[in-house]
């Protein structure tokens, strides 16, 4: 990801303790290793998931042929046999999002627990901070691919309609051992979201705060806002940007920044867009806007449509205008 992912940042915009956050080379200490190993087992499958999603072509033609010729049994069977393996693949994506959810909550627990402050955790446990960033990097990549592939929704809708029709006709379906009605309902809610994995992680972060009532909410929000500031510094500082060796590093920083902003906005009582927020939203949006529109449109859409507080009265008109 380039030489820079060792970035000097601070806990506030203008002051605070300085520290390096090494996204590239951080190695787990003995204290981090147990959680790191658990999360690494999940992250090892992430590239395969992205590759499978990128190669997802759908069964559009087969479905159209079946719908246009409802009495042609051969075409009905052809469409069904084309859709079923795709639905099994969609189930794997959905189940992977649940594994990511557990991994994220484990990282949050490690990076926010007393007696250390979130800043101290990020300094001391940089390998876990790197994994947190990698989860968000994957999430934004996955959701961008999903948003550009309408075949996913079309295939799954056809599957559910046909599954219900065949059940009414008392047909035995082998696919039900893989994706029964209950699983199909859960998957349907998941894929109905524009950014399904980000929505899953936003909910997971909210649940983490709710379930850990003895943990000050600031421990979680400060962890997220600090990571957002790290990425913004990387993106807006020419000295740092000049050390990027590839576009991948640039996209990594942007995706992680957007990801932690969205999580922060779901968890913080007044959100990321309020003046009380510890995230410099104008600065973050500005560095996104400075990139190629084709590159960042998916990230801007994530801020527009998956945040919780953008349309609150407390959000400045300038910030809203920047996202229009």
Q: What is the per-residue pLDDT across 205-219, written as a single tens digit (0 to 9) for each?
A: 999 999 998 999 999
Percentage above 70 pLDDT, the chain: 88
Pick the residue with more confidence: 170 or 249?
Answer: 249
Helix (H, G, I), strand (E, B) or coil at 17: coil
Max intra-chain CA distance, the chain: 72
For residue 6, what are the β-bridge partners? Answer: 22
Question: Is there a contact between 75 and 66 (Cβ–Cβ < 8 Å)?
Answer: yes
Mean pLDDT computed over 65-82: 93
Q: Is the pLDDT of residue 177 over 80?
A: no
Domain ranges of the chain: 29-194, 216-323
DSSP state of 18: -
Pick the residue with more confidence: 139 or 324?
Answer: 139
How far is it, in rounded angstroms, from Cα 185 to Cα 276? 39
Q: Encode pLDDT of 85-113 as tens digits.
A: 999 999 999 999 999 999 999 999 999 99
Q: Is the pLDDT of residue 258 over 80?
A: yes
User: What stretches of the chain show up as alpha helix (H) in DSSP?
Assistant: 33-43, 46-54, 60-68, 73-112, 118-124, 126-147, 151-168, 181-192, 196-211, 217-236, 238-241, 247-267, 281-289, 293-306, 317-322
Residue 240 pLDDT grade (very low, low, confident, very high; cuts 50, 70, 90): confident
DSSP state of 237: -
How far is it, in rounded angstroms, from Cα 44 to Cα 49? 10
- Residue 41 contacts by C-beta under 8 Å, 6 or more apart in sequence? none
Q: What is the pLDDT of residue 13?
A: 41
Q: Is the pLDDT of residue 14 over 50?
A: no
Categorise residue 170: left if φ over 0, alpha if ψ from -120 to 50, beta otherwise: left
Residue 172 pLDDT grade (very low, low, confident, very high; cuts 50, 70, 90): very low
Give one DSSP letter per residue of 52-77, joined into a string: HHHT----HHHHHHHHH-TT-HHHHH
Long-range contacts of 272-276 (CB under 8 A, 24+ apart): 272/307, 272/309, 273/307, 273/309, 273/310, 273/312, 273/314, 273/315, 273/316, 273/319, 274/309, 274/312, 274/314, 274/315, 275/314, 275/316
Residue 9 pLDDT grade (very low, low, confident, very high; cuts 50, 70, 90): very low
Mean pLDDT computed over 250-264: 91
How far is it, in rounded angstroms, from Cα 287 to Cα 278? 17
Report which of 252, 140, 253, 150 is spatially closest to residue 198, judged by C-alpha positions.
140
Query: What is the rounded end-to-end Cα distance, in angstroms, of the chain?
Result: 31
Categorise residue 90: left if φ over 0, alpha if ψ from -120 to 50, beta otherwise: alpha
Q: Encode pLDDT of 275-314 as tens digits.
A: 889 999 999 999 999 988 888 888 998 899 889 999 898 8
Report which of 143, 129, 130 is spatially closest to residue 97, judged by C-alpha positions.
143
Q: What is the pLDDT of residue 237?
A: 80
Chain mean position to CA 59: 26
Please provide the average confidence, as pLDDT, over all residues in the chain: 87
Mean pLDDT computed over 199-204: 94
- Buried b or exposed e, range 32-45, using 16+ CB within 10 angstroms: beebbeebeebbee
Q: What is the pLDDT of residue 5?
A: 41
Q: Is the pLDDT of residue 220 over 70?
A: yes
- Residue 251 contacts by C-beta under 8 Å, 6 or more apart in sequence? 295
Sign for the pseudo-dihedral over CA of 101, 104, 110, 112: negative
Q: What is the pLDDT of residue 183?
A: 92
Residue 155 pLDDT grade (very low, low, confident, very high; cuts 50, 70, 90): very high
Report which of 120, 106, 101 is spatially closest to residue 219, judged by C-alpha positions.
120
Lowest mean pLDDT among 190-194, 230-234, 253-257, 317-321: 230-234
Q: What is the pLDDT of residue 178?
A: 80
Q: Encode pLDDT of 15-66 as tens digits.
A: 333 444 666 778 999 999 999 999 999 999 999 999 999 999 999 999 999 9
How far is it, in rounded angstroms, from Cα 226 to Cα 15? 12
């Amino acid at each position: 990801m380039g030489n820079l992912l060792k970035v000097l940042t601070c806990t506030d915009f203008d002051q605070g303790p300085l520290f390096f956050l090494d996204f590239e080379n951080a190695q787990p200490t003995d204290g981090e290793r147990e959680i790191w190993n658990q999360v690494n087992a999940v992250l090892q499958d992430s590239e395969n998931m992205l590759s499978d999603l990128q190669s997802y072509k759908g069964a559009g033609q087969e479905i159209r042929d079946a719908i246009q010729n409802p009495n042609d049994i051969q075409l009905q069977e052809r469409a069904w046999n084309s859709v079923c393996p795709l639905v099994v693949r969609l189930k794997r994506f959905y189940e992977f999002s649940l594994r990511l959810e557990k991994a994220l909550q484990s990282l949050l627990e490690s990076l926010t627990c007393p007696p250390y402050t979130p800043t101290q955790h990020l300094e001391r446990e940089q390998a876990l901070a790197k994994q947190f960033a990698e989860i968000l990097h994957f999430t934004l990549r996955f959701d961008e691919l999903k948003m550009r592939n309408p075949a996913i929704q079309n295939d799954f809708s056809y599957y559910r309609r046909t599954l219900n029709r065949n059940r009414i006709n008392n047909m035995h379906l082998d696919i039900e051992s893989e994706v029964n009605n209950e699983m199909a309902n859960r998957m349907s809610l998941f894929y109905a979201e524009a950014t399904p994995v980000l929505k899953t992680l936003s909910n997971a972060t909210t649940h983490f705060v709710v379930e850990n009532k003895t943990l000050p909410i600031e421990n979680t929000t400060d962890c997220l806002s600090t990571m957002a500031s790290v990425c913004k510094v990387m993106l807006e500082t020419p000295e740092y940007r000049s050390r990027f060796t590839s576009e991948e590093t640039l996209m990594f920083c942007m995706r992680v920044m957007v990801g932690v902003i969205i999580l922060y906005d779901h968890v913080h009582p007044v959100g990321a867009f309020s003046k009380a927020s510890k995230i410099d939203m104008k600065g973050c949006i500005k560095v996104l806007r400075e990139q190629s529109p084709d590159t960042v449109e998916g990230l801007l859409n994530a801020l527009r449509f998956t945040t919780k507080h953008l349309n609150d009265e407390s959000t400045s008109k300038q910030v809203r205008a920047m996202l229009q």
